[in-house]
Chains A and B, each alone.
Chain A
Amino acid sequence: MLKRTTLYEKHQASGAKLVDFSGWEMPIHYGSQLEEHDVVRKDVGMFDISHITSLDVTGKDARVFLRYLLANDVEKLTNVGQALYTGMLDETGGILDDLIVYRMQEDNTFYRLIVNCATRSKDCAWINQHSAQFAVQISEQANVSMLAIQGPNAREKLSQVMPKLAEKIEKLAYFHSFTDGDWMICATGYTGEDGFEVIIPDAEIEAYWDHLLASDVKPCGLGARDTLRLEAGMNLYGTDMDESINPYEANMAWTVALKPVDRNFVGRNALEGLIDADNRKLVGIILDAKAILRSHQQVFHDGKNVGEITSGSFSPTLQKSIGLARVNSFNGSCEVEIRGKRLPISIVKPPFVRKGKIVYQSLEI
Protein backbone atom coordinates (compact mmCIF):
# COMPACT_ATOMS: atom_id res chain seq x y z
CA MET A 1 0.00 0.00 0.00
CA LEU A 2 1.43 3.32 -1.08
CA LYS A 3 1.64 6.15 1.45
CA ARG A 4 -0.40 9.26 0.77
CA THR A 5 0.20 12.84 1.81
CA THR A 6 -2.51 14.87 3.54
CA LEU A 7 -3.11 16.60 0.19
CA TYR A 8 -4.00 13.38 -1.67
CA GLU A 9 -7.64 14.29 -2.21
CA LYS A 10 -6.69 17.83 -3.23
CA HIS A 11 -4.42 16.37 -5.93
CA GLN A 12 -7.25 14.22 -7.23
CA ALA A 13 -9.55 17.22 -7.27
CA SER A 14 -6.98 19.12 -9.37
CA GLY A 15 -6.80 16.26 -11.90
CA ALA A 16 -3.40 14.88 -10.90
CA LYS A 17 -1.92 11.79 -12.50
CA LEU A 18 -0.54 9.96 -9.47
CA VAL A 19 2.45 7.61 -9.57
CA ASP A 20 4.52 5.55 -7.14
CA PHE A 21 7.44 7.71 -6.03
CA SER A 22 9.63 5.83 -3.52
CA GLY A 23 6.56 4.28 -1.89
CA TRP A 24 4.46 7.46 -1.98
CA GLU A 25 1.53 8.06 -4.28
CA MET A 26 2.52 11.47 -5.68
CA PRO A 27 1.38 13.73 -8.55
CA ILE A 28 3.61 13.40 -11.63
CA HIS A 29 1.60 16.11 -13.40
CA TYR A 30 -1.86 17.69 -13.43
CA GLY A 31 -2.31 17.59 -17.22
CA SER A 32 0.87 18.91 -18.81
CA GLN A 33 4.35 18.67 -17.36
CA LEU A 34 5.62 21.22 -19.90
CA GLU A 35 3.02 23.81 -18.91
CA GLU A 36 3.84 23.29 -15.23
CA HIS A 37 7.55 23.74 -15.98
CA ASP A 38 6.75 26.95 -17.82
CA VAL A 39 4.55 28.36 -15.08
CA VAL A 40 7.41 28.01 -12.56
CA ARG A 41 9.89 29.71 -14.92
CA LYS A 42 7.50 32.59 -15.66
CA ASP A 43 4.99 32.95 -12.81
CA VAL A 44 4.52 30.76 -9.73
CA GLY A 45 3.65 27.13 -9.06
CA MET A 46 3.35 24.88 -6.01
CA PHE A 47 4.56 21.35 -5.33
CA ASP A 48 3.48 19.00 -2.58
CA ILE A 49 6.80 17.73 -1.19
CA SER A 50 5.37 16.23 2.01
CA HIS A 51 7.11 12.92 1.23
CA ILE A 52 10.37 14.60 2.22
CA THR A 53 11.63 13.87 5.74
CA SER A 54 12.38 16.48 8.37
CA LEU A 55 14.59 15.37 11.27
CA ASP A 56 15.22 17.44 14.37
CA VAL A 57 18.57 17.13 16.13
CA THR A 58 18.40 18.56 19.62
CA GLY A 59 20.51 18.51 22.77
CA LYS A 60 23.67 19.87 24.31
CA ASP A 61 25.96 18.25 21.70
CA ALA A 62 23.86 19.05 18.62
CA ARG A 63 26.43 21.37 17.06
CA VAL A 64 29.42 19.13 17.86
CA PHE A 65 27.58 16.07 16.55
CA LEU A 66 26.65 17.67 13.22
CA ARG A 67 30.20 18.96 12.75
CA TYR A 68 31.22 15.28 12.98
CA LEU A 69 28.34 13.84 10.91
CA LEU A 70 28.31 16.21 7.91
CA ALA A 71 30.93 17.08 5.27
CA ASN A 72 29.98 20.76 5.27
CA ASP A 73 30.49 22.68 8.51
CA VAL A 74 27.46 23.91 10.48
CA GLU A 75 29.84 26.41 12.05
CA LYS A 76 29.27 28.44 8.84
CA LEU A 77 25.69 29.08 10.01
CA THR A 78 26.21 32.48 11.56
CA ASN A 79 22.51 33.34 11.87
CA VAL A 80 19.58 31.53 13.41
CA GLY A 81 17.37 30.29 10.55
CA GLN A 82 20.27 30.04 8.11
CA ALA A 83 20.59 26.91 5.96
CA LEU A 84 23.50 24.90 4.58
CA TYR A 85 23.58 22.31 1.77
CA THR A 86 25.80 19.34 2.57
CA GLY A 87 26.58 15.73 1.83
CA MET A 88 26.46 13.07 4.54
CA LEU A 89 29.32 10.69 3.74
CA ASP A 90 30.43 7.23 4.77
CA GLU A 91 34.02 6.45 5.83
CA THR A 92 35.10 5.95 2.20
CA GLY A 93 33.81 9.40 1.22
CA GLY A 94 30.79 7.89 -0.57
CA ILE A 95 27.67 10.06 -0.49
CA LEU A 96 24.97 8.56 1.75
CA ASP A 97 22.63 11.47 1.13
CA ASP A 98 22.53 15.16 0.34
CA LEU A 99 20.56 17.34 2.72
CA ILE A 100 19.86 20.83 4.00
CA VAL A 101 20.58 21.65 7.64
CA TYR A 102 18.98 24.62 9.40
CA ARG A 103 20.26 26.27 12.56
CA MET A 104 17.09 26.65 14.64
CA GLN A 105 18.35 28.22 17.90
CA GLU A 106 20.94 30.73 19.02
CA ASP A 107 22.38 28.35 21.63
CA ASN A 108 23.08 25.64 18.99
CA THR A 109 21.03 22.96 20.74
CA PHE A 110 18.53 22.60 17.88
CA TYR A 111 19.13 21.95 14.16
CA ARG A 112 16.71 20.66 11.54
CA LEU A 113 17.76 18.31 8.70
CA ILE A 114 15.73 18.01 5.50
CA VAL A 115 16.67 14.66 3.94
CA ASN A 116 15.55 12.74 0.87
CA CYS A 117 12.46 10.55 0.96
CA ALA A 118 14.03 7.45 -0.63
CA THR A 119 16.93 7.48 1.86
CA ARG A 120 14.87 8.08 4.99
CA SER A 121 15.35 4.75 6.79
CA LYS A 122 19.01 4.43 5.79
CA ASP A 123 19.67 7.99 7.01
CA CYS A 124 17.86 7.45 10.31
CA ALA A 125 19.83 4.26 11.01
CA TRP A 126 23.14 5.95 10.14
CA ILE A 127 22.43 9.08 12.18
CA ASN A 128 21.25 7.10 15.21
CA GLN A 129 24.29 4.84 15.06
CA HIS A 130 26.69 7.79 14.99
CA SER A 131 24.84 9.81 17.61
CA ALA A 132 25.31 7.21 20.36
CA GLN A 133 28.39 8.90 21.81
CA PHE A 134 26.84 12.38 21.77
CA ALA A 135 24.27 14.05 24.05
CA VAL A 136 21.68 14.51 21.30
CA GLN A 137 18.15 13.38 20.49
CA ILE A 138 17.01 12.66 16.93
CA SER A 139 13.30 12.89 16.19
CA GLU A 140 11.35 12.91 12.99
CA GLN A 141 9.05 15.91 12.80
CA ALA A 142 5.59 14.34 12.95
CA ASN A 143 2.27 15.49 11.47
CA VAL A 144 3.73 18.07 9.14
CA SER A 145 3.36 18.68 5.42
CA MET A 146 5.73 20.48 3.12
CA LEU A 147 4.91 22.71 0.18
CA ALA A 148 7.32 24.31 -2.32
CA ILE A 149 6.07 27.59 -3.83
CA GLN A 150 8.41 28.47 -6.69
CA GLY A 151 8.73 31.02 -9.47
CA PRO A 152 9.53 34.69 -10.11
CA ASN A 153 6.19 35.73 -8.55
CA ALA A 154 6.45 33.38 -5.54
CA ARG A 155 7.54 36.11 -3.13
CA GLU A 156 4.76 38.51 -4.10
CA LYS A 157 2.13 35.77 -4.03
CA LEU A 158 3.20 34.38 -0.68
CA SER A 159 3.19 37.87 0.84
CA GLN A 160 -0.39 38.36 -0.37
CA VAL A 161 -1.53 35.03 0.99
CA MET A 162 0.21 35.55 4.36
CA PRO A 163 -0.15 39.31 4.94
CA LYS A 164 0.94 39.14 8.59
CA LEU A 165 4.28 37.70 7.51
CA ALA A 166 4.65 39.79 4.35
CA GLU A 167 7.42 41.96 5.69
CA LYS A 168 9.54 38.97 6.71
CA ILE A 169 8.82 37.11 3.48
CA GLU A 170 9.78 40.07 1.32
CA LYS A 171 13.22 40.39 2.86
CA LEU A 172 14.03 36.72 3.47
CA ALA A 173 17.43 35.98 1.87
CA TYR A 174 18.22 32.82 -0.12
CA PHE A 175 19.04 29.88 2.16
CA HIS A 176 17.50 31.56 5.19
CA SER A 177 14.30 30.76 7.06
CA PHE A 178 12.07 31.87 9.89
CA THR A 179 9.48 30.16 12.04
CA ASP A 180 6.02 31.36 12.99
CA GLY A 181 4.50 29.10 15.61
CA ASP A 182 4.50 25.58 14.10
CA TRP A 183 5.17 26.93 10.61
CA MET A 184 8.59 27.26 9.02
CA ILE A 185 9.16 29.39 5.93
CA CYS A 186 12.41 28.72 4.06
CA ALA A 187 13.80 30.60 1.05
CA THR A 188 15.00 27.44 -0.68
CA GLY A 189 13.99 25.36 -3.67
CA TYR A 190 14.86 22.85 -6.34
CA THR A 191 13.97 24.83 -9.46
CA GLY A 192 16.56 27.57 -9.99
CA GLU A 193 13.90 30.24 -9.44
CA ASP A 194 13.13 32.45 -6.47
CA GLY A 195 10.86 30.56 -4.11
CA PHE A 196 10.04 29.06 -0.77
CA GLU A 197 9.64 25.72 0.93
CA VAL A 198 7.15 25.85 3.76
CA ILE A 199 6.68 23.32 6.58
CA ILE A 200 3.07 23.38 7.74
CA PRO A 201 1.11 21.38 10.35
CA ASP A 202 -1.00 18.67 8.64
CA ALA A 203 -4.13 20.18 10.20
CA GLU A 204 -3.63 23.44 8.29
CA ILE A 205 -2.24 22.29 4.94
CA GLU A 206 -5.52 21.71 3.11
CA ALA A 207 -6.84 25.19 3.82
CA TYR A 208 -3.47 26.68 2.85
CA TRP A 209 -3.46 24.72 -0.43
CA ASP A 210 -6.98 25.96 -1.22
CA HIS A 211 -5.95 29.51 -0.42
CA LEU A 212 -2.97 29.33 -2.79
CA LEU A 213 -5.07 27.65 -5.47
CA ALA A 214 -7.67 30.42 -5.20
CA SER A 215 -4.81 32.92 -5.57
CA ASP A 216 -3.86 31.40 -8.95
CA VAL A 217 -0.84 29.43 -7.78
CA LYS A 218 -0.83 26.45 -10.14
CA PRO A 219 -0.27 22.92 -8.80
CA CYS A 220 2.82 21.32 -10.35
CA GLY A 221 3.93 17.70 -10.27
CA LEU A 222 7.18 15.89 -9.67
CA GLY A 223 7.70 15.64 -13.44
CA ALA A 224 8.16 19.39 -13.79
CA ARG A 225 10.16 19.42 -10.57
CA ASP A 226 12.65 17.07 -12.25
CA THR A 227 13.08 19.08 -15.49
CA LEU A 228 13.34 22.29 -13.43
CA ARG A 229 16.05 20.90 -11.17
CA LEU A 230 17.94 19.48 -14.14
CA GLU A 231 17.91 22.87 -15.91
CA ALA A 232 19.07 24.38 -12.60
CA GLY A 233 22.00 21.90 -12.60
CA MET A 234 20.97 20.42 -9.26
CA ASN A 235 21.80 16.80 -8.43
CA LEU A 236 19.19 14.14 -7.73
CA TYR A 237 20.26 11.61 -5.12
CA GLY A 238 20.16 8.01 -6.35
CA THR A 239 20.46 9.21 -9.96
CA ASP A 240 23.43 11.60 -10.09
CA MET A 241 25.19 10.27 -7.00
CA ASP A 242 25.02 7.50 -4.39
CA GLU A 243 27.31 5.67 -1.94
CA SER A 244 29.73 4.69 -4.72
CA ILE A 245 30.37 8.35 -5.63
CA ASN A 246 32.44 10.90 -3.69
CA PRO A 247 31.65 14.64 -3.64
CA TYR A 248 34.45 15.47 -6.12
CA GLU A 249 32.79 13.20 -8.69
CA ALA A 250 29.39 14.81 -8.11
CA ASN A 251 30.14 18.51 -8.60
CA MET A 252 29.90 18.86 -4.79
CA ALA A 253 33.46 19.92 -3.89
CA TRP A 254 32.02 23.26 -2.75
CA THR A 255 30.01 21.45 -0.06
CA VAL A 256 33.08 19.85 1.54
CA ALA A 257 34.64 21.94 4.32
CA LEU A 258 38.21 20.65 4.81
CA LYS A 259 38.97 23.80 6.78
CA PRO A 260 39.39 24.08 9.69
CA VAL A 261 41.89 21.22 9.44
CA ASP A 262 41.23 20.02 12.98
CA ARG A 263 37.51 19.29 12.37
CA ASN A 264 37.15 15.52 12.16
CA PHE A 265 34.09 14.40 10.19
CA VAL A 266 32.97 11.09 8.77
CA GLY A 267 34.70 10.58 5.41
CA ARG A 268 37.38 13.23 5.97
CA ASN A 269 40.37 10.85 5.82
CA ALA A 270 39.16 9.36 2.57
CA LEU A 271 38.51 12.79 1.02
CA GLU A 272 42.02 14.02 1.88
CA GLY A 273 43.35 11.17 -0.25
CA LEU A 274 40.86 11.86 -3.05
CA ILE A 275 41.06 15.62 -3.44
CA ASP A 276 44.09 15.56 -5.76
CA ALA A 277 43.21 12.26 -7.43
CA ASP A 278 42.14 12.09 -11.08
CA ASN A 279 38.45 12.05 -10.22
CA ARG A 280 35.72 11.69 -12.78
CA LYS A 281 33.66 14.86 -13.10
CA LEU A 282 29.94 15.48 -13.21
CA VAL A 283 29.35 17.87 -16.12
CA GLY A 284 26.47 19.34 -18.05
CA ILE A 285 25.64 17.96 -21.51
CA ILE A 286 23.74 19.55 -24.39
CA LEU A 287 22.53 17.54 -27.36
CA ASP A 288 21.76 19.55 -30.50
CA ALA A 289 20.40 16.59 -32.48
CA LYS A 290 16.72 15.68 -32.21
CA ALA A 291 16.87 12.91 -29.62
CA ILE A 292 16.59 12.75 -25.84
CA LEU A 293 19.39 12.12 -23.35
CA ARG A 294 18.48 9.55 -20.67
CA SER A 295 20.39 8.17 -17.71
CA HIS A 296 22.81 5.31 -18.46
CA GLN A 297 23.46 6.30 -22.08
CA GLN A 298 27.20 6.01 -22.74
CA VAL A 299 29.58 8.85 -23.65
CA PHE A 300 32.46 8.33 -26.11
CA HIS A 301 35.59 10.29 -27.03
CA ASP A 302 37.74 9.10 -29.91
CA GLY A 303 35.84 5.81 -29.98
CA LYS A 304 36.54 5.14 -26.30
CA ASN A 305 33.90 4.99 -23.59
CA VAL A 306 34.65 7.92 -21.26
CA GLY A 307 31.51 8.07 -19.14
CA GLU A 308 27.79 7.86 -18.72
CA ILE A 309 24.74 10.12 -18.64
CA THR A 310 23.36 10.25 -15.07
CA SER A 311 20.28 12.43 -15.71
CA GLY A 312 18.76 13.41 -19.02
CA SER A 313 15.56 14.94 -20.28
CA PHE A 314 14.09 17.48 -22.63
CA SER A 315 14.74 21.06 -21.54
CA PRO A 316 11.63 23.16 -22.13
CA THR A 317 13.68 26.36 -21.75
CA LEU A 318 16.45 25.39 -24.20
CA GLN A 319 14.01 23.44 -26.43
CA LYS A 320 16.55 20.63 -26.77
CA SER A 321 17.79 17.77 -24.66
CA ILE A 322 20.14 18.38 -21.73
CA GLY A 323 21.69 16.11 -19.16
CA LEU A 324 24.34 15.52 -16.55
CA ALA A 325 27.13 13.03 -17.23
CA ARG A 326 29.96 11.61 -15.16
CA VAL A 327 33.07 11.50 -17.35
CA ASN A 328 36.81 10.87 -17.23
CA SER A 329 39.00 13.73 -18.37
CA PHE A 330 39.73 13.92 -22.10
CA ASN A 331 40.56 16.57 -24.69
CA GLY A 332 38.30 17.38 -27.58
CA SER A 333 34.89 16.38 -28.77
CA CYS A 334 32.61 13.65 -27.54
CA GLU A 335 29.48 11.77 -28.51
CA VAL A 336 26.59 10.03 -26.84
CA GLU A 337 25.23 6.71 -28.04
CA ILE A 338 21.44 6.63 -28.42
CA ARG A 339 19.85 3.49 -29.88
CA GLY A 340 23.05 2.48 -31.67
CA LYS A 341 23.79 5.94 -33.12
CA ARG A 342 26.61 8.21 -31.94
CA LEU A 343 25.52 11.85 -31.76
CA PRO A 344 27.79 14.84 -30.97
CA ILE A 345 27.29 16.53 -27.58
CA SER A 346 28.68 19.67 -25.97
CA ILE A 347 30.05 19.69 -22.45
CA VAL A 348 29.05 22.67 -20.33
CA LYS A 349 29.25 23.92 -16.79
CA PRO A 350 25.83 23.71 -15.10
CA PRO A 351 23.47 25.36 -14.27
CA PHE A 352 21.76 25.55 -17.64
CA VAL A 353 19.04 27.96 -16.45
CA ARG A 354 18.80 30.35 -13.49
CA LYS A 355 15.96 32.80 -12.82
CA GLY A 356 14.40 32.18 -16.23
CA LYS A 357 17.63 32.87 -18.16
CA ILE A 358 19.89 30.50 -20.08
CA VAL A 359 23.25 30.79 -18.28
CA TYR A 360 25.41 27.75 -19.03
CA GLN A 361 29.07 28.19 -19.98
CA SER A 362 31.25 25.93 -22.09
CA LEU A 363 33.64 23.76 -20.13
CA GLU A 364 37.05 22.22 -20.79
CA ILE A 365 37.62 19.04 -18.84
Chain B
Amino acid sequence: MGMIPAELKYAKTHEWVRTEDDGTVTVGITDHAQHALGDIVYVDLPEVGDTLKAGQEAGVVESVKAASDIYAPISGEVIAVNDELADNPEMINNDPYTGGWIFKLKPLDVNELDDIQDSDVYKEWCESGDH
Protein backbone atom coordinates (compact mmCIF):
# COMPACT_ATOMS: atom_id res chain seq x y z
CA MET B 1 0.00 0.00 0.00
CA GLY B 2 2.86 2.34 0.82
CA MET B 3 2.40 5.58 2.71
CA ILE B 4 -1.01 7.29 2.48
CA PRO B 5 -0.83 10.62 4.36
CA ALA B 6 -4.14 11.35 6.09
CA GLU B 7 -4.22 15.06 5.21
CA LEU B 8 -4.28 14.53 1.41
CA LYS B 9 -7.08 13.56 -0.97
CA TYR B 10 -6.76 10.86 -3.62
CA ALA B 11 -8.04 10.17 -7.14
CA LYS B 12 -8.88 6.61 -8.18
CA THR B 13 -6.14 7.02 -10.81
CA HIS B 14 -3.58 7.29 -7.97
CA GLU B 15 -2.90 11.03 -7.94
CA TRP B 16 -2.75 12.79 -4.57
CA VAL B 17 -4.05 16.33 -4.07
CA ARG B 18 -2.95 18.80 -1.40
CA THR B 19 -4.87 22.05 -0.85
CA GLU B 20 -2.42 24.85 -0.07
CA ASP B 21 -3.09 27.88 2.16
CA ASP B 22 -3.59 30.13 -0.88
CA GLY B 23 -6.36 27.88 -2.24
CA THR B 24 -4.26 26.35 -5.04
CA VAL B 25 -3.78 22.56 -5.18
CA THR B 26 -0.60 20.53 -5.66
CA VAL B 27 -0.77 17.18 -7.47
CA GLY B 28 1.56 14.18 -7.55
CA ILE B 29 1.31 10.39 -7.73
CA THR B 30 1.00 8.20 -4.66
CA ASP B 31 3.58 5.99 -3.03
CA HIS B 32 1.45 3.01 -4.10
CA ALA B 33 1.59 4.20 -7.73
CA GLN B 34 5.36 4.83 -7.79
CA HIS B 35 5.92 1.35 -6.28
CA ALA B 36 3.79 -0.25 -8.97
CA LEU B 37 5.63 1.63 -11.74
CA GLY B 38 9.16 0.93 -10.53
CA ASP B 39 12.14 3.14 -11.40
CA ILE B 40 10.84 6.34 -13.01
CA VAL B 41 13.07 7.68 -15.79
CA TYR B 42 11.03 10.38 -17.51
CA VAL B 43 8.12 12.71 -16.77
CA ASP B 44 6.12 14.50 -19.45
CA LEU B 45 4.73 17.59 -17.68
CA PRO B 46 1.71 19.73 -18.58
CA GLU B 47 2.40 23.33 -19.61
CA VAL B 48 1.84 26.29 -17.35
CA GLY B 49 -1.30 28.03 -18.58
CA ASP B 50 -3.02 24.82 -19.73
CA THR B 51 -6.60 24.51 -18.54
CA LEU B 52 -7.48 20.97 -17.61
CA LYS B 53 -10.83 19.36 -16.86
CA ALA B 54 -11.22 16.85 -14.04
CA GLY B 55 -10.12 13.46 -15.37
CA GLN B 56 -8.26 14.96 -18.33
CA GLU B 57 -4.79 13.68 -19.18
CA ALA B 58 -2.23 16.07 -17.69
CA GLY B 59 1.05 14.29 -18.43
CA VAL B 60 2.86 10.98 -18.45
CA VAL B 61 5.17 9.25 -16.01
CA GLU B 62 7.45 6.68 -17.61
CA SER B 63 9.26 4.02 -15.67
CA VAL B 64 11.81 1.66 -17.19
CA LYS B 65 9.04 -0.82 -17.90
CA ALA B 66 5.94 1.23 -18.74
CA ALA B 67 4.29 4.58 -19.41
CA SER B 68 1.46 5.71 -17.17
CA ASP B 69 -0.84 8.69 -17.75
CA ILE B 70 -1.34 11.28 -15.03
CA TYR B 71 -4.81 12.84 -14.83
CA ALA B 72 -6.02 16.14 -13.42
CA PRO B 73 -7.93 15.17 -10.25
CA ILE B 74 -10.03 18.36 -10.46
CA SER B 75 -10.55 21.06 -13.10
CA GLY B 76 -8.22 24.04 -13.09
CA GLU B 77 -5.48 26.08 -14.67
CA VAL B 78 -1.90 24.81 -14.46
CA ILE B 79 0.03 27.49 -12.56
CA ALA B 80 3.30 25.64 -11.92
CA VAL B 81 5.12 22.43 -12.86
CA ASN B 82 8.00 20.72 -11.10
CA ASP B 83 10.84 21.38 -13.56
CA GLU B 84 13.33 19.55 -11.35
CA LEU B 85 11.74 16.28 -12.46
CA ALA B 86 13.27 16.74 -15.94
CA ASP B 87 16.74 15.96 -14.56
CA ASN B 88 15.69 14.02 -11.46
CA PRO B 89 12.60 11.95 -12.30
CA GLU B 90 13.60 9.49 -9.54
CA MET B 91 12.42 12.12 -7.00
CA ILE B 92 8.94 10.67 -7.57
CA ASN B 93 10.21 7.28 -6.35
CA ASN B 94 12.21 8.70 -3.47
CA ASP B 95 9.86 11.39 -2.24
CA PRO B 96 6.41 11.09 -3.86
CA TYR B 97 4.55 13.49 -1.54
CA THR B 98 6.95 16.43 -1.30
CA GLY B 99 9.97 16.72 -3.65
CA GLY B 100 8.20 14.56 -6.23
CA TRP B 101 5.17 16.83 -6.73
CA ILE B 102 4.24 17.15 -10.41
CA PHE B 103 2.05 20.24 -11.02
CA LYS B 104 -0.07 22.88 -9.26
CA LEU B 105 -3.57 23.91 -10.26
CA LYS B 106 -5.72 26.94 -9.59
CA PRO B 107 -9.08 25.20 -9.14
CA LEU B 108 -12.05 26.25 -11.25
CA ASP B 109 -14.52 24.80 -8.77
CA VAL B 110 -13.34 23.87 -5.26
CA ASN B 111 -16.49 21.77 -4.79
CA GLU B 112 -14.91 19.18 -7.08
CA LEU B 113 -12.55 18.39 -4.19
CA ASP B 114 -15.52 16.84 -2.41
CA ASP B 115 -15.80 14.25 -5.18
CA ILE B 116 -12.36 12.74 -4.64
CA GLN B 117 -11.41 10.23 -1.98
CA ASP B 118 -10.15 10.75 1.54
CA SER B 119 -7.13 8.73 2.63
CA ASP B 120 -9.12 5.96 4.34
CA VAL B 121 -11.33 5.48 1.26
CA TYR B 122 -8.25 5.45 -1.01
CA LYS B 123 -6.61 2.89 1.25
CA GLU B 124 -9.65 0.63 0.95
CA TRP B 125 -9.68 1.22 -2.82
CA CYS B 126 -6.05 0.05 -3.08
CA GLU B 127 -6.70 -2.95 -0.84
CA SER B 128 -9.93 -3.93 -2.63
CA GLY B 129 -8.22 -5.21 -5.73
CA ASP B 130 -5.45 -4.98 -8.24
CA HIS B 131 -5.45 -1.22 -8.80
Measured CB to CB, the residues of A under 8 A from B are 17, 28-29, 32-34, 223, 226-227, 290-292, 294, 313-314, 316, 321, 339
Contact = CB atoms under 8 A, between A and B. Distances in A.
B86 interface: yes
B41 A314 contact: yes
Nearest to A341: B44
Interface stretch (B17-25, B60-68, B118-126): B60-68
A292 B39 contact: no
Given A28-B65, A32-B38, A292-B41, 4 more contacts: A33-B38, A33-B64, A291-B44, A314-B62
Interface in B14-52: 38-39, 41-42, 44
Nearest to A36: B39
Interface-central residue, B44, B60, B62, B65, by most chain A CB under 10 Å: B65
Nearest to A224: B64
B123 to A, nearest CB: 20
A339 B41 contact: no
> 8 closest Cβ contacts across the A-B interface?
A314-B41, A292-B62, A34-B39, A33-B64, A314-B64, A33-B39, A292-B42, A33-B38
Contact of A339 (B38, B39, B60, B64): B60
A17 B39 CA distance: 13
Contacts of B39: 32-34
A33 B65 contact: yes
B60 A223 contact: no
B64 A313 contact: yes
A322 to B, nearest CB: 12
Contacts of A339: 44, 60
A33 B65 CA distance: 9
A339 B67 CA distance: 11
A292 B61 CA distance: 10
B41 A29 contact: no
A52 B99 CA distance: 42
A292 B38 contact: no
A316 B62 CA distance: 14
Contacts of B86: 290
Contacts of B38: 17, 28-29, 32-33, 223
A295 to B, nearest CB: 11
A58 to B, nearest CB: 40
B64 A223 contact: yes
Contacts of A29: 38
